[in-house]
Structure 1
Amino acid sequence: MALWDLLRAMVRRWPFVVVGALITLAAANYASQDRSIYWTRTDLVFLAPKNAQYPNALRATSEDLVITAGVVGKLVAGTRQVPKFTATDAGLIGMGVRDGWTVRLPDTGGQWAPNYVDQWLIIEVVGPDPETVRKRKEQLVEKMAAALDRVQDEYKVARAFRMTTKEAPGSTVVYPVGGSSRRAFVVSGLLGAAAILYLVVRIDPILLRRRQRRAETLTEPDVV
């Protein structure tokens, strides 16, 4: 179908074009609405007490720190199911979570052989606005600090030998996650326009043939 033929077909089938344009406009407007979510991640590092042998708590590692981190994470997360990722840098966004949080110990092992060797907990928070995300993250950090104190109080650990925690990064950075509203509007409009053209190209010949057959039927001479 030539361009001129297509234009004439669109004029003939203007009701389809108008209805299709209205539906396309509504769909494009809906697709371009801002549905951004906000995400943050913090690593809560568990530090050994400083002493003459280990003056730098960040460099002191042990199995006890890893175990304690796991216990504290379990106390805070409770019965929540901890997601299993194939990579330590994967997170809630990739799972499609738009509102929630998770606390997990990094697992560097495979699906059938978990391996916990890092002495920190990964805190991830996803929410509808930055303030909600920031507040949830701070509450989780406070809960884990309180849980660590309870564990050490239970085992009567002296103050000089107590583990501590440190956030990395030190300040909360909240990232917006979302698409481009302008791009969504344009793409929806192009798809709608393509659908309208396809509909006109398919329907116009059918309706023309029906009109032609009806005209031929009306002009046939009566047989006496």
Structure 2
Amino acid sequence: MRGVLRRWYVVLAVIALMVPAVLQAAGATGVYWSKVDVVFYPPSGAAAGNPLRADSQATIHYAAMVERLVNGERGNTESGTTSADLYGTGIRNGYSVYIPSSGGQWQSSFDRSAITVEVVAETRDDVSRVLTGIVDRIETTAVERQEAMGVIPRSYITTSLSPGTPEVSYQPSKPVYAASALAVLTAGLAIAAAGLVDRLTLHVAGRRDQLRHAPTAAGDRTKVRS
């Protein structure tokens, strides 16, 4: 603690750097969020006209292919799965398109033929606009790929939304918790930085003393030999 007191200016410098972040966290507002599943259904009638067949696994694979195509449009070809809602990750403007997984943290398990779409934004209108656009792309891609494979319309894999009318909700932020966490982090960083600077300063000072006394010690040894 004495080292921290000796380097009080380091503590003040760290606090000054972190104050804007703490103030920003304290004044943070919530976001609007919506989540919907685009569910894929196997053909109910003449499955022979569809090379995908009326098979649940084939429908899951087809949904995964559509998800990769839609994500590929924005340069992201990796399937994204998440157990946390998008607004809980700290994103304030963005969206996520992924196949929902029922697996645990270390292993994914896909047993639903659906694509989940999540959108967060700072206004309700922005959420609705982005969500509608993504859902339209998914549904259009699902139809176009089957057309390209020569599937007859009555044997199409179809889609529907769950829930049928996506709800846009306001998710309030927790500025007190965020500001408190940053304040604790700031205190820890300030103490650690002051301690590090103090140790380095003492080490450098010690080395200087050794170098300064080295010539004198060498001269004393020379006199003794003579």
- Give the alignment's TM-score, normalised by structure 1: 0.58
The answer for the alignment partner of 1:196 in structure 2 is: none
Q: Distance in 2 between matches of 1:158 and 1:137?
A: 29
Judging by fraction of residues, say which structure has more helix: 2
Query: For 1:37-186, what aligned pairs fall within 5 Å after superposition?
Result: 37-51=31-45, 62-78=56-72, 79-80=75-76, 81-85=78-82, 87=83, 90-179=84-173
Give ranges in structure 1 of 5+ residues lacking alignment: 1-27, 54-59, 192-224
Q: CA deviation at 1:47?
A: 1.2
Q: CA deviation at 1:180?
A: 7.3
Q: CA deviation at 1:82?
A: 4.4
After superposition, the C-alpha distances for 1:27-70 in whole angstroms (9 at most, x for unaligned) are x99777562210000011001223399xxxxxx76111101110
Aligned residues: 152
Query: For 1:1-40, what aligned pairs fall within 5 Å after superposition?
Result: 33=27, 35-40=29-34
**Structure 1 143/29 Cα, relative in aligned 2: closer, same or farther at 3 Å?**
same
What letter matches 1:38 in structure 2? Y
Provide the alpha-carbon RMSD of the alignment.
3.2
- The structure 1 segments of at least 4 consecutive aligned residues displaced by more than 6 Å after TM superposition are 28-32
After superposition, the C-alpha distances for 1:44-102 in whole angstroms (9 at most, x for unaligned) are 1001223399xxxxxx76111101110111111113254443x3xx2212221111001
- Give the alignment's TM-score, normalised by structure 2: 0.58
SS, match of residue 115 in structure 1: coil
Q: CA deviation at 1:110?
A: 3.5
Structure 2 contact 31–87 (Cα < 8 Å) conserved: no
Q: Percent identity?
A: 27
Q: Distance in 1 between matches of 2:24 and 2:143?
A: 49
The answer for the alignment partner of 2:200 in structure 1 is: none
Structure 1 contact 61–119 (Cα < 8 Å) conserved: no
Q: Distance in 1 between matches of 2:80 and 2:159?
A: 23
SS, match of residue 138 in structure 1: helix
Give ranges in structure 2 of 5+ residues lacking alignment: 1-21, 48-53, 184-226
Q: Distance in 1 between matches of 2:142 and 2:118?
A: 19
Structure 2 contact 81–98 (Cα < 8 Å) conserved: no
What letter matches 1:115 in structure 2? S
What letter matches 2:114 in structure 1? W
SS, match of residue 161 in structure 2: strand
Q: CA deviation at 1:153?
A: 1.0
